[in-house]
Structure 1
Amino acid sequence: MTSVSSPPRTIRIGSRKSQLALVQTYWVQEQLQKSFPDITFEVHTMSTQGDIILDVALAKIGDKGLFTKELELGMINQEIDFAVHSLKDLPTNLPPGLALAAITERENPADALVLHEKYKGLQIDTLPEGAVIGTSSLRRLAQLRHQFPHFTFKDVRGNLNTRMAKLDAGEYDALILAVAGLERLGMSDRVHQVIPKEISLHAVGQGALGIECRADDTELITILKAIEHPATRDRCLAERAFLRQLEGGCQVPIGVNTVITGNELTLTGIVASVDGQNLVQDSVTGEAKEAEALGIELAHLLRKQGATEILNQIFTEIQRGS
C-alpha cells in the first residue's frame, strides 16, 4: 500500500499595513522562504488601533497592544499563524495562548535626529533655543527635556512619510525617530545625527523584530527559530524583563541600553519623569544566559532609587489627561 504524504503547509503571516511594517514582514517572509522552500508563506495585512487613531497622543489613548491587538486576535481566531512586530510595540505581557517565538537580529537601536533643511549641518546640542522638536515618545521627550529644557517639544503622529512631510513643510525644526526604521525604508540619508546613549537611551526592543505565534504551534515555533538571533534575543529579553517588572507600557519614559561581550551582558536602564526633572539610572552586569534575571535585578535597583515614585506620578498624570 502506497503512503500518501500530506501537502506542504501554507503559513499565513500577519502584518500591519504601514510601509515600514510591510518592509519588515516581507523581509521575514524572504528569510523563511530561503530556509523552507517547500513551505508557502503568505502575507495578510490588517489595520490596528494605532494605525487608525492618528490625531491623539499615544500616551492618552493607552498603548498596551495599540499596534498589536488586532493581529493577536487574528492568531487566536486562526485567521493568521504568526505576526511580525516591531518588538518595541509588543507588550511585555502577551495574551494567554500566544508566545514570543523568535527575535531577529537587531538593527541600530539608537534614536536619530532628523532636521529641517534650514538647520542642515547642526546637531542636537547646537540647535537654537526654542527649536520645535517633534516626537510621539514620552521616553524621548523626558530624556531630551532633561538635557535640553530650552527646546519646544510638539507631538507628531502618522507614518514615517507623513511625519517627514510635516517636517519638510516647516511644522517642526527637527524630528526624533528610530535609526532602524529610517534604514529599513532606505532613508539613511535623512539621519543627521545618531543620538548618543548619554543623551537618550533607546526603547525596549527598539531595532529588533518580534515574531509572535500561538504557543501550542510547536511545528511553527521550530520553523521560526531558524531566523532568531541569539545575542539579540538575550539583549531584548533582559530589556523586556526590566520593563515588565516596572509595569510600564511603551509610552512610559523608560530607556535602556544593552551590550554583550563574550558571555557577559550589561544592561543600563533609566526611568524619568515626563518633565525631565527627575530621573534614576543604573546598570547591572551578569551572564547573558541569565538575561531576564538581570532585567528584574535592574528594575528592583531603580525602584530602590525612586523609580516607583516617578512612575506613580506619570500614571496619575496620564489618567488625568495632562
Structure 2
Amino acid sequence: MTGTVLVLATRGSKLALKQAAITSELITAAHPDVTIKIRTVKTTGDKDRRPFTEIGGKGLFTSEVEREVAEGRAHLAVHSAKDLTAAIGPGCTIAAVPPRERVEDVIVGGSGSAMDRLSSLPAGARVGTSSIRRRALLAEARGDLECVEFRGNLDTRLRKIAEGEVDAALLAAAGIARLGSWDDADPAPLDPTWWVPPPGQGALAIEARADDTEVLALLGALDDPAARATLEVERAFSQRLEGSCSVPLGCFAQVDGDRLVVTGYIGHPSGTNAIRDRISGGLRDARAIGVELAEAIIAGGGDDILDELGGEPDR
C-alpha cells in the first residue's frame, strides 16, 4: 500500500487523540509509506453528561466512531477496548490489538498503598467514580464511604481532587499512563485479582471493515498475540454474561507461558454480594475459557445477581 493515506476515526478527547497518535505511530513504524489522517467524531457519551446508567448501556463512546468505518468514511478506528459493545459493529472486525497498557484500577488521593489509602479514608469520605463496577467494589470494601458521580477528562478529575471536591477518586491506570500523568496523579494500583478491572481495560482495539483485506493485512503487523488472547477471553466472559453498564462485572486475564489465568467477578451495587472465580487454560482456547469462567460465575450465584439487575445471561 505504498503512498496510501488511511483515515483513522476516533473520539476527540485528549485520551482518545493520544490513543490515535499511538496507533498512527505503530502503523507508520511498520509501514513508513503510509500516511494517517485523523477524523474526530463526537459520540453520545461525549454529548450526554448524565450518569452512564441513565444514558443506557455500552457503546456510548464507540457506536458513532464504528459507523464511520462501516459506512466507508474511515478505513479504521481505535477504541478503548473496555468501551466496545459485546457485538462489534456490522461489517467490522477487531483487526489488531497492540501490546496492552496497565490494566488495574487505581485510587488517587492520599498516600501509601491502595489498601492504606482505602483504609485511612474517614467514614463518609467522598470518592469519585462514574462506574457501577467501582461503586460495587467500593461498597464491598468500605460501605461507609460516599460515592460521587465523577466524569470529565483526567485533568478535570485531578483538579477536582486537588480542590477537595472529593477526598479520593477511582480511575483506570491505563489512561493516566498513556497521558504521561503518573507522577502528577500519584496513583496507587489496586490488586486486579480482587479489585477486578472491566473486560478490556488497558487494551486498544483497532477496528476495520471485515472485507477490507488490504487494511486488515496492513494492521496485522500491529497485533500482539498476548494482548489479543487476554482481550478475547475477557470479551467472551462479558458476552456470556451480557455485560452492560447496569451490571458490576470484571474480568482480568494474564498470560503465563502458554496458558491463560483468568479471574472473573460479578457484584451487587450494594456491595452485599460479590462472586469471584479463577480458572486457567491454554492460550489457544481463549474464548472457551472466558465462557467456562462465566458459567462458573453463574453457577456460583451470579444468576441471582443478573436476574435482579435485569442482565440475565443469554441461555
Could you say which residue in structure 2 is the equivalent of 1:309?
304
d(CA) in 2 for partners of 1:192, 1:126: 15
C-alpha separation between the residues in 1 aligned to 2:137 and 2:235? 20
Deviation larger for 122-131 or 64-73: 122-131
Partner of 2:47: 52
Structure-2 separation of matches of 1:203 and 1:110: 9
Question: Aligned pair count?
Answer: 307
Question: What is aligned with 1:232?
Answer: 227
Q: How far 1:120 sits from its partner (Å)?
A: 4.2
Contact 1:238 1:295 in 2 (8 A): yes
1:183 Cα offset (Å): 0.8
- 1:7 deviation in Å? 6.8
2:97 aligned partner: 103
Residue aligned with 1:101, SS: strand
- The match for 1:149 among 143, 146, 168 is 143
1:200 Cα offset (Å) = 0.9
Match of 1:186 in 2: 180
SS at structure 2 position matched to 1:31: helix
Amino acid at match of 1:302: I
Give the CA deviation at 1:63.
2.6
**More divergent stretch after superposition (145-154 vs 190-199):** 190-199
Deviations 1:190-240 (A, max 9, x none): 133111235411111001100111110111111111111111110110000
Q: Which runs of 5+ in 2 are unaligned?
A: none
Say which one has the larger Rg: 1
2:29: which partner in 1? 34
Kept in 2, the 8 Å contact 1:106–1:232? The answer is yes
Is the Cα–Cα contact under 8 Å of residues 245 and 299 in structure 1 kept in the other structure?
A: yes
Structure 1 runs (4+) greater than 3 angstroms displaced? 119-122
Other-structure match for 1:243:
238
**Given that residues 52 and 245 in structure 2 are in contact (C-alpha distance below 8 angstroms), is that contact kept between their aligned partners in structure 1?**
no
**Structure 2 vs 1, CA of residues 314 and 69 (structure 1 numbering), >3 Å: closer, same or farther?**
same
Deviation at 1:257, TM superposition (A): 1.7
Counterpart residue type for residue 182 of structure 1: I
AA aligned opposite 2:192: K
Cα RMSD, aligned residues only: 1.5
What residue number does 2:19 align with?
Answer: 24
For normalisation by structure 1, the TM-score amounts to 0.92
Contact preservation (8 Å) 1:282, 1:298: yes
For structure 1, the residue ranges without an aligned partner over 5 or more in a row are: 1-5, 317-322
TM-score (norm 2): 0.94
Which whole-Å CA distance do the structure 1 matches of 2:149 and 2:306 have between them?
Answer: 21
Contact 1:25 1:84 in 2 (8 A): yes
Structure 1 contact 114–174 (Cα < 8 Å) conserved: yes
Task: Supply the distance in 2 between the matched residues of 1:15 and 1:315 (Cα, whole angstroms).
Answer: 31
1:254 positional shift: 0.7
Alignment of 1:163-312 (within 5 A): 163-189=157-183, 190-312=185-307
Identity of aligned residues (%): 38
Q: Where does 1:133-148 land on structure 2 (aligned, <5 Å)?
A: 133-148=127-142
